[in-house]
Amino acid sequence: MSPTFALLLGHGVLAAASTIPTPKIRYLAILPELLMLGGAVLLLAVASLVRRPLRVRVATSGTVVVSAATLGAALWQWYDVRSHGPYTTLVHSVVVDGFSALVAILVPCAMLLSALVADGYLRRERVDGPEVHVLAMVSAAGAMIMAQANDLIVVFLGLEILSIALYVLAALNHRRAASGEAALKYFILGSFSSAIFVYGIALTYGATGSSNLTQIADFLSRNVIAHDGLLLAGLSLLLVGFLFKVAAVPFHMWTPDVYDGAPSPVTGFMAAVAKVGGFAALLRVFISSFGVLRADWQPIVYGIAVATLLLGAGLAVVQRNVKRMLAYSSINHAGFVLLGLQAATTRGVSASLYYLFAYTFMVIGSFAVVTVLGRRGDADHDIAAYRGLARRQPALALAFAVLLLAQAGAPFTTGLWAKLQVVLAAVDANSVPLAAIAMGSAAVAAFFYLRVAVLMYTPAREVGTPAGLQDAAEAPVPLWVSSGAEPAGLEGTTGGEPVAAGAGTADAGAAANGHRTVPLWSGSERNIAMLTRLNADLLLDAESAAAGPVAGAAARLAGAAGGGVPAVRRGTGDEPIDVAAAQEGGAGAGRRGPPALVAPEPITATAPELDRRPVPVPPGTALAIALCTAVTVVFGVWPAPLVDLASKATLLFHP
């Protein structure tokens, strides 16, 4: 090759390179995502350069600083949009409007609060390193990308950034097998949903010729598709991918196990950020791009909303594990947000945004309290552990009660206004039956929220109190009587008043006199017994209603220690238990008589079931709980600023 030819070739390459188009970038549009991802990379780099694992306080401090900086950039975005209007950048693949700016404000707030909650958890579990904070910041960046996406490919990119980090966070607690199981379930089901979502993108591209949301909307508004099967199939698959991420029925199966198995701070972060990102993308895609086809997808969303509302509230009622109860509660909340989507109006979008904002603070604060009460190992989440919390730690019980009542929609909380906004949006869209179903599910949901609140303010029984000295409301009701004689254990009583367990031995006398023992299958005694047992199943320990929670704990202690406290004996209804055998340890086992509840000795042992000591609340967690409670109450009493913010964000929604 001659030098002249080489020189000409070099000039040609340079000229061609100078004509390659490069996208115009407004870095303010992606500044929150850059700060969040940059902070995660910087924190990980610092941790890799030190010899020992990075201290938790260092990782938490760095995360709080990055979250605050991201919040400042998001506020800058908001005021820029208010001044200059919405715009797109990066070849129209990213949009900056009031909708995306509000989500960019909300996600850093959730990240900051979750970092404060995780700080106390990691110190308690003695876990050092920045992994939790790094993965959480990456996931938060994915949620913000989903809200700003103006292209289905960018939506998928944000969805995967959000999800992959959450898969790893769910498996963080390697000391619990349930944590690894939860992560595996989440990963497998999430992978299927991602594949379905990508397939939906492919079909939508094949039907419209573009993956850009603005171009899809323009194509659908200018053309009438004669055979729209391909487009509707793509739309349906996109909807499936979104509904899995927001845990809507019937794509909710992963939620209870993942929420229960994942570390509690991660569960709170997941419940807030995953729903915010998922619903932000869902609202943008279906309202902005597929608004022309609302007659096709509104009935589907209507049915899914009904199923989500009813199933979430109905299954939460029967849960004794508080984390699983909040998991089904989150499904119910997803149904309420779907009301705004189903309305497909400006008011519906505004109501959904308001609901997401209010729900974020309520759920993070609730899981912060659950994190504290889970104790070392994060496994003490049975509802019985919350009994008497108001006496041990009144401030913590008050905060949790406020947050639970807010989720139920109590007055003077953001929960009331959130539910009211989406219900009114549904009514305006002529979906009155759906609004009525939503209010009915809210009434059902109020039960399991009030159950925990009432239990926290129910005095705990003293550890040394025998089971035979229960309060009148918890006294055992005899389920057997002797024909021709007074009910067993009721001699000398009037009005059929129940007496302490094991107080009478008329059963033996009835057997000696030849009286036949029959069950009480009718009358007020049977009704009282049924109500007492139901009360025990719903409010107290999992033991029988007659034994009471303390006696049940004593029975478990006796079984574990091999003796010391006699166990409670139960009858089957066909084979009465010999009272003498129960009281004398086997003597007279051949005699038959009606069953009696044997009162155990006063409980003096110490066990995890009876640990009523106050739980230490880390300062960071206390601050997070206080902030969540304050936002819930302040904007519940004074709702105008938050309602106005959501309304302005919707008016600045990029078409």
Q: Is 636 part of any domain?
A: yes
Closest CA to 474 of 383, 568, 540, 375: 540
Give the separation between CA 173 and CA 121, rounded to whole angstroms: 11
- Which has more pLDDT, 471 or 194? 194
68 pLDDT above the threshold of 90:
yes
| Domain assignment present for 23 | no
Q: What HEC string does 517-538 produce? A: EEECCCCHHHHHHHHHHHHHHH
6 occurs within a structural domain: no
Torsion sign over Cα 112, 113, 116, 120: negative
Cα radius of gyration (the chain): 30
Residue 111 binned pLDDT confidence (cut-offs 50, 70, 90): very high
Using left for φ > 0, alpha for ψ between -120 and 50, and beta otherwise, residue 532 falls in: alpha
**Nearest partner of 99 among 148, 162, 142, 155, judged by Cα:** 148
Determine the pLDDT at residue 647: 87
Q: Are residues 591 and 630 in the same domain?
A: no
In whole angstroms, give the CA distance from residue 19 to residue 21.
Answer: 6
For the cut 50, the answer to whether the pLDDT of residue 40 exceeds it is yes
What's the average model confidence in pLDDT over 315-343? Answer: 94
- Asked whether the beta carbons of 275 and 334 are under 8 A apart, the reply is yes
Q: How many domains does the structure of the chain reveal?
A: 2
Per-residue confidence (pLDDT) for residue 530, from 0 to 100: 57
- pLDDT of residue 516 exceeding 80, the answer is no
**Separation between Cα atoms, residue 393 and residue 219, nearest integer Å:** 60
pLDDT of res. 375: 86
Q: Say if residue 439 is in the same domain as residue 522.
A: no
Tens digit of each residue's pLDDT (9 = 90 or more) over 446-466: 999 999 999 999 886 654 444
Residue 385 lies in a domain: yes
Looking at the structure, tell me whether residues 383 and 303 fall in a common domain: yes
> Residue 580: is its pLDDT beyond 80?
no
**Among 36, 255, 59, 313, CA closest to 161:** 36
Residues 314 and 424 in one domain: yes
- Give 526: exposed, middle or buried? Use CB within 10 Å, 0-12, 13-18, 19+: middle
Whether residue 291 sits in one domain with residue 233: yes
Is residue 168 located within the same domain as residue 59?
yes
pLDDT given for residue 556 in this prediction: 41
Residue 297: per-residue pLDDT: 93
Range of 366's domain? 31-459+615-651
Shortest CA distance to 115 belongs to which of 183, 56, 31?
56
> Based on the domain organization, do 346 and 369 belong to the same domain?
yes
Residue 515: pLDDT over 50:
no
Smallest Cα–Cα separation from 205: which of 279, 297, 289? 289
| Nearest one of 168, 148, 167 to 158, comparing CA atoms | 148
Asked if the model's pLDDT at residue 283 lies above 60, the reply is: yes
Tell me if the bond preceding 250 is cis, omega within 30° of 0.
yes
Residues facing 517 on adjacent strands: 482
Percent of the chain with pLDDT over 70: 73
| pLDDT reported for residue 526 | 58
The whole-number pLDDT of residue 226 equals 76
The answer to the question of residue 199 being in a domain is: yes
pLDDT grade, residue 76 (50/70/90)? very high
Which residues 6+ apart lie within 8 Å of 505 measured at CB? Answer: 489, 579, 596
Q: Is residue 78 pLDDT above 70, yes or no?
A: yes
Burial 443-481 (b: 16+ CB within 10 A, else e): ebbbebbebbbebbbbebbebeebbbebeeebbbbbbbb
In a shared domain, residues 597 and 628: no
Confidence label for 533 from pLDDT (cuts 50, 70 and 90): low
- 568: pLDDT strictly greater than 70: no
Asked if the structure places residue 229 within a domain, the reply is yes
SS3 3: helix
285 pLDDT more than 80: yes
Residues paired with residue 519 on neighbouring β-strands, in sequence order = 480
pLDDT in tens, 140-152: 999 999 999 999 9
What's the whole-number mean pLDDT along residues 342-348?
91
Instruction: Record the pTM.
Output: 0.79
Which pair of tokens denotes residue 386?
């919350």
Which residues, other chains included, contact 283 with Cβ-Cβ below 8 Å and sequence gap of 6+?
99, 340, 341, 349, 352
pLDDT band with cut points at 50, 70 and 90 for residue 23 = confident
In whole angstroms, what is the distance from residue 130 CA to residue 46 CA?
9
Q: Is pLDDT of 118 > 70? A: yes
Neighbouring residues of 113: CB distance < 8 A, sequence distance ≥ 6 = 361, 364, 365, 368, 624, 627, 628
Q: Clarify whether residues 584 and 629 are in a common domain.
A: no
Task: List C-alpha distances in Å: 437 to 59, 229, 305, 426.
Answer: 45, 32, 10, 11
* Per-residue pLDDT reduced to its tens digit, 26-38: 888 999 999 999 9
Q: Are residues 454 and 482 in the same domain?
A: no
pLDDT at 422: 95
Confidence grade of residue 299 (pLDDT, cut at 50, 70, 90): very high
Q: How many CB atoms lie within 10 A of CB 202?
A: 14
Instruction: Look up residue 274 and give its DSSP letter.
Output: I
Q: Report residue 358 as tokens.
A: 């209010």
275 and 128 within one domain: yes
Please report, as a single letter, which amino acid is at residue 655.
P
Q: Are residues 303 and 223 in the same domain?
A: yes
Q: Where are the alpha helices (DSSP H) in 272-388?
A: 275-283, 294-317, 322-343, 346-373
Mean of the per-residue pLDDT values for the chain?
A: 79
In a domain, 1, yes or no: no
pLDDT exceeds cutoff 80 at 641: yes
Within a domain: 170: yes
Output the pLDDT for position 584.
Answer: 44
- Kindly tell me if the per-residue pLDDT of 497 is higher than 80: no
- The Cα 149–Cα 157 span in angstroms is 9
Name the residue among 568, 567, 570, 594 with its Cα closest to residue 580.
594
Calculate mean pLDDT across residues 130-156: 94
Please compute the mean of the pLDDT values over residues 273-283 and round it to a whole number. Answer: 94
